[in-house]
Structure 1
Amino acid sequence: MTRSLIPSLVVSLVAFVGAAASPASAQPGGAPSLVTVAQLEPMLADPATVVFHIGEKAEYDAGHLQGARHLETRAIAAAPREGGLTLQLPEPADLEARLEALGISDGSRIVLYMGKDWVSPLTRVVFTLDYAGLGGRTVVLDGGLPAWKAAGKPVTTDVPAAPAPGTLTLRPRPEAVADLAWVRSHAGASGSLVIDARLPQFYTGESDNNGRIPRPGHVTGAVSAPFSTFVREDGTFKPRAELEAMLKAAGAAPGTSIATYCHIGQQATVPYFVARMLGYDVKLFDGSYEEWARTPDAPVSKP
């Protein structure tokens, strides 16, 4: 039976958001966090803060936070190759160079916000930074640019000058990534939880995405928790207690090892981010269902 999590329209913001640490107190390997508009404002005056707008370029050009630079998910992903998977982490040395080119250094506080409703591209960037060991230095503006504007804060069309290259010592967290073998051995096993973050019609196999999915269905042993159910209609994340209840309903318990997957490894970073903030041992199956479906002996189920 499909275990889908139903969206809630409960309106609450403050319940989940905690105060963000200053750059000096952020710990390597720590989890990324959410901040409110009020919490973000004083960070923007700190010269160690680097700010990135995640969304369409035209949207960025129309107005963004002062000092923010436009960042696309692809800018910190592996270069695509023929026959390869759609979205993958780059090699550590390559990722380090890309982050340095963005002006990120060991002492940086990284602020991310979405332009409109790009929650999963935003959390893919969060995941990549968390894998790089920068999670404890990364904060996300809850609700993104719409929340900033709703609070009456100014935006600008001024584009900042190209940053000076940063000086970064990458500390990769390979434990943040699950490969196919890990998922195969842990899906449905005691003490583990594999979450399918795609929309329900893909979990059930009802949709093959217009022929793009060679073996419709889901990883045998995985449960359904669509990425869209973790956020509210205004793009803010649901309150902490509600998010904890959602993961519990999916099968999580203290000590559970969680892996998330979706189509290509983007939507699944939404529950990854949530589970990471809530203190779970969580991994992203980076190859996701794209890799699973093309592996003939990887078991697929339909409810």
Structure 2
Amino acid sequence: MQIKILAKAAVAFVILVGSATLPYRAYAQTPAPATAQTEPWVSTAWLESHLHDPNLVLLQVGEESQYKSAHIPGARFVRLDDFAATSGELSLEMPPAPELRQRLRGLGISDGSHVVVYFENNQVSASTRILFTLRSAGLGAHADLLDGGMPKWRSEGRTLTDQSAAAARPGTLAPFNLQPTIVDAAFVHAHARQPGYVLIDARAAMYYDGLEESGADDHHRRGHIPGAHNVPFTSITNDDLTLKTPAELLALFRKAGVKPGDRVIAYCHIGQQATVVALAARAIGIDAVLYDGSFEDWTMRDLPVEL
């Protein structure tokens, strides 16, 4: 797949907040500036021709039973939990840098690795959350999603195996600090109602519209964060789960009110589905950060919502 360099842009969200009842978690205080990006995915044809590259680390996310039944040769099975903090109140949180580094090393990831993540069945957002985590570790320039994942690989009749990959040798990965890719309620509170921000809710419309409840188990709420625009994560992909074209992705953001020079913060239920939106933003040069914890964190703080 030819990698296209795309125009620079910037984007972000207005989040309207009230008083918080839980202590704020310290994440990035300001989003990173937007830079020109390349498409953060590779084609099935590209991957097939690079399966034997010595620096390739291929990761399959999904169900372990499916991995054992059939997977792309050389792939290692991973769970989303392998890339999440082991403690905390929320369902999904970014691990601290030292903990994340040890996990990545355990998967054989080194500074010079090219990591490709792919999904089994329809678990696109689990794959993009892993990809987002790699980007937060500073590895985004050498980490990609397999466009269309296993469904596309299968449909094209490409090689599969049931032989598990050899155990990974620990990678050589220098210590790192997390990149400013995530924000918390403190950032939201500090930037409430400021012009030039656009809030994107990546959940399905039924949650955004308040037809179904969402949030923490004991803090279920209907509706969305005030000021948010709805771009469901499923709108980022085609019916075959391949990513839409850059022009189509840009049109989605424009329809949501994102203008040149705006900045985007994406949120969803727990910080997983919104990473699909963040991936799309990266593909068209938009600066987008993730509200980690998302609506779950918002409702636990008893912050306002609207229908």
Q: Same fold (TM over 0.5)?
A: yes
User: Which residue of structure 1 lines up, in the alignment, with residue 74 of structure 2?
Assistant: 67
Deviation at 1:19, TM superposition (A): 2.8
Name the TM-score, length of structure 2 as normaliser. Answer: 0.84
Within the candidate set 92, 99, 108, 1:103 is matched to 108
Query: In the comparison of the two structures, how many residue pairs are matched?
Result: 276
Distance 2:39 2:103 in 1: 20
Q: Does structure 1 residue 194 correspond to structure 2 residue 199?
A: yes
Classify the secondary structure of the residue corresponding to 2:60. strand
Q: In the alignment, which of 216, 219, 224 is matched to residue 222 of structure 2?
A: 216
Following the alignment from structure 1 to structure 2, what is the Cα–Cα distance between the partners of residues 161 and 208?
Answer: 44
Q: Aligned to 1:223, what secondary structure does the other structure show?
A: strand
Q: Provide the C-alpha distance between the structure 1 equivalents of 2:138 and 2:216, rounded to a whole number of angstroms.
A: 38
Letter in 1 for 2:3: A
Root mean square deviation of aligned Cα: 2.1
Provide the residue aligned with 1:142 in structure 2: 147
Q: Give how far 1:18 is off.
A: 3.6
Paired with 1:295 and 1:211, the residues of 2 have a C-alpha distance of: 10
Q: TM-score, normalised by structure 1?
A: 0.86
Point out which structure has higher relative CO (alpha carbons under 8 A, 6+ apart): 2
Q: For 2:279 and 2:189, how far apart are their aligned partners in 1? A: 22
- Separation (CA, whole Å) in 2 of partners of 1:188 and 1:127: 27
Partner of 2:3: 19
**Contact 2:215 2:297 survives alignment (8 Å):** no
Tell me, what secondary structure is at the counterpart of 1:300? Answer: coil
> Offset of 1:150 from its aligned partner?
1.8
- Between the aligned partners of 1:276 and 1:168, the Cα distance in structure 2 is 24
- Aligned residue number for residue 10 of structure 1: none
Q: Which of 254-263 and 92-101 deviates more?
A: 254-263
Q: 1:273 to 1:148 in 2, by over 3 A?
A: same
> Using a 3 Å threshold, how does the CA distance of structure 1 residues 183 and 211 change in structure 2: closer, same or farther?
closer
Residue of structure 1 in register with 2:19 after alignment: none
Alpha-carbon distance between aligned partners in 2 of 1:195 and 1:43, rounded to the nearest angstrom = 36
Partner residue, 1:39? 46
Instruction: Give the corresponding residue for 1:236.
Output: 242
Q: Which SS does the other structure have where 2:151 is aligned?
A: helix
Secondary structure in structure 1 of the residue aligned to 2:264: strand
In structure 2, the gaps of 5 or more residues are 6-35
Counterparts of residues 1-303 of structure 1 (less than 5 Å): 18-19=2-3, 33-81=40-88, 84-186=89-191, 188-209=193-214, 212=217, 213-296=219-302, 298-302=303-307
Q: Distance in 1 between matches of 2:220 and 2:54?
A: 49
Task: Point out the more displaced range, 166-175 or 70-79.
Answer: 166-175
What's the CA shift string for 1:104-149, capped at 9, x where partnerless? 0000000111111101101110110010111110111100111112
CA apart distance, 1:278:
1.4
**Partner amino acid for 1:138?**
A
Shift of 1:299: 2.4
State the percentage of identical aligned residues: 39
CA contact (8 A) 1:50 1:103 kept: yes
User: Which ranges in structure 1 are unaligned for 5 or more consecutive residues?
Assistant: 1-16, 22-28
What is the Cα deviation at residue 158 of structure 1?
A: 0.4
How many Å separate the matches in 2 of 1:100 and 1:118? 24
Question: Amino acid of the residue matched to residue 81 of structure 2?
Answer: R
Q: Secondary structure at the match of 2:189?
A: helix
Deviation at 1:255, TM superposition (A): 2.2
Q: Is the 8 A contact 1:187 1:221 kept in 2?
A: no
Give the partner amino acid of 1:119. V
Deviations 1:5-51 (A, max 9, x none): xxxxxxxxxxxx64399xxxxxxx97661111112222212110010
Structure 1 residues 172 and 275: alpha-carbon distance in aligned structure 2, compared to 1, 3 A threshold: farther
Paired residue secondary structure (1:301): coil
Q: Distance in 1 between matches of 2:37 and 2:256?
A: 25
* Number of the residue aligned with 1:24: none
Asked whether the equivalents of residues 195 and 224 of structure 1 are also in contact (C-alpha less than 8 Å), the reply is yes
